[in-house]
Amino acid sequence: MKIGVLALQGAFREHEEVLGRLGIRTVEVRKPDDLHGCDGLVLPGGETTTQRKLAKTYGLWDPLARLGGRGMPILATCAGLILLATRIDGEAGSSLGLLDIDIRRNAYGRQVFSFETSLSVGRTAETAGRADPFRAIFIRAPRIVRTGPAVSVLASHAGEPVAVEQGNILGLTFHPELTPDPRFHTHFLEIVRRAAASREEGKPGRDSMETAVGNHP
């Protein structure tokens, strides 16, 4: 298994470290060719506008949209989640639009208002064989203000969803890579394994994924 980690800006190395501890090979994605052979993709936290601009500059934006649309598993955290949302701050068209949620950026305020809290993580806990709360770190976190009918809520804080899943996508408003608890990464790897099993059963597979990357500059 090989997981690509978008490495344009933000907390990509921390995700690589967590996946490495789980025995997973990672590749830093900075250009379209880096996506070849990836079984899944991580979109890390950071600065949304910068990540969007660099992804377009380096020709990654359209391949990311095609791969996500064709079923590549994606773990998106904080800024990465914002990039996937249907609407950002009530506006459409500035994101990849792969996850049926509306999101509000920096909804908890400036960095000084960052916080930690314990989350009941339900199915994610079951995947990793643990039932204790997950200690989540929120840093200039967005808020999910709407979820579509196909979106499952895996965890909430103060009555609002903070971890969601839709098909091949796992989206978190917090930073699981900054804790020693690997449960959300473990759950993501299960999504990757399910996608691989589906390909083996004759559903869209590696060839269609490689076509989706294309040959872009």
Q: Which of 15, 175, 185, 187 is catalytic?
A: 175
Mean local confidence (pLDDT), 32-48: 95
Instruction: Determine the structural domain holding residue 155 and report its residue range.
Output: 2-213
Catalytic-residue membership of 78: yes
Position 120 pLDDT exceeds 90: no
The pLDDT score that the predictor gives to residue 211 is 55
Q: Is 216 a catalytic residue?
A: no
Q: What is the CATH number of the domain that holds 207?
A: 3.40.50.880
Q: Which of 15, 38, 177, 185 is catalytic?
A: 177
Residue 72's CB: how many other CB atoms inside 10 A? 26
Q: What is the pLDDT of residue 126?
A: 53
Mean pLDDT for 48-66 is 95
Residues of 33-62 as b/e, b for ≥16 C-beta within 10 angstroms?
ebbeebbbbbbbbbbbeebbebbeebebbb
Task: Identify the pLDDT of residue 216.
Answer: 43
pLDDT at 201: 77
The count of domains in the chain is 1
Catalytic residue flag (residue 177): yes
- Alpha helix positions (H), 2-104: 12-21, 48-57, 61-69, 79-84
* The pTM of the whole model exceeds 0.85: yes
